[in-house]
Structure 1
Amino acid sequence: MTSVAAACAKLGEHGKVAMDCIGAAAVQHGLRVARITQERHRNLLAPLKASLAFCPELLRLDSDRKNPVHITRLHMRPIDISSKTTEMEEMFAPADNSRISLLATAVKAKLETAGATRVVGTGTSSSLRMVKAQLRANDFLREEEETSLLWGLCSICEVEGKNLTSLAIDFLKGPMI
């Protein structure tokens, strides 16, 4: 797992960071690292009207053909946030996995009209559903041959022990990975 110090070092050296996460706990850890790294760079990026955002990518390793391993790669880089409004309508993460496509469609539609939207959720499972919805919305954008992807800013991240208790992600369009 990538530490905050390692993420900051890679960001300073390359201008971007990619964290590979296998499993739900690793994705949660990646979101916490993204939030802390974002906070550490806030004063540096604020005058540029930028913030550190993340964009997930789903990778598949076929080393074992019967049980392929899925890796969620969280890309982090500074993006322009000048289009982000201060007042955003909040959407709530769904309670079950069957509604992830609905959330992805709603977020994509809201971005087209308002430029940004916030999705909030409580508990471990809702944070993973938000990342899955972001992945699905990006798939929709790629199918439409968009030149931008959906990037997320961790606006609220509350942790109890090693578990996320609540999370709010502000979504806006940013560059391709």
Structure 2
Amino acid sequence: PGKPQQNGRHERMHLTLLQEAANPPAHSLRDQLKRLRAFQQRYNEERPHQALDNATPAERYQASPRRFDGILRSPDYGDQDVRRVRHNGEIKLDGKFVYITAALAGEPVGLAESEGCWTVSYGPIMLGTIAYQSDELRKPKRKRCGLGDNAARCPQGPQPQQQQT
């Protein structure tokens, strides 16, 4: 996510953009804007993309069936207890402060009682559970996918080279 080595497709698009629209630079901002718009039209509507089975992005694009009216609404929690996350990422539960996450500061989270714990969610996303009489949020176990840790199967350190004669 933060390294060029992990974003090859994105970096390739930047290289194509640089080659087609910015090298050499235009003489004026207006000319540069014309180049960028021409590149955008070619890239999205004319140029086939291997990752899209040689279709163009315009051929694959589908507008969302939902319209955004410009108003951000809080999630609906139905019959769950709702707590607003404080500026420091905590909520107050049963007289104790429990850290949830500072990323949700000012946002409401839902609390649903289940067997021996509270389940904490932000909208449809389960954040974790809090055991009764605890002050700690336990995050749900993540499903394993992608590359696993193969350190046990890999040789440790460099291998000795065989001498060639």
Which structure shows the higher strand fraction? 1
Which structure shows the higher helix fraction? 1
TM-score, normalised on structure 2?
0.21
Higher CA-based Rg? 2
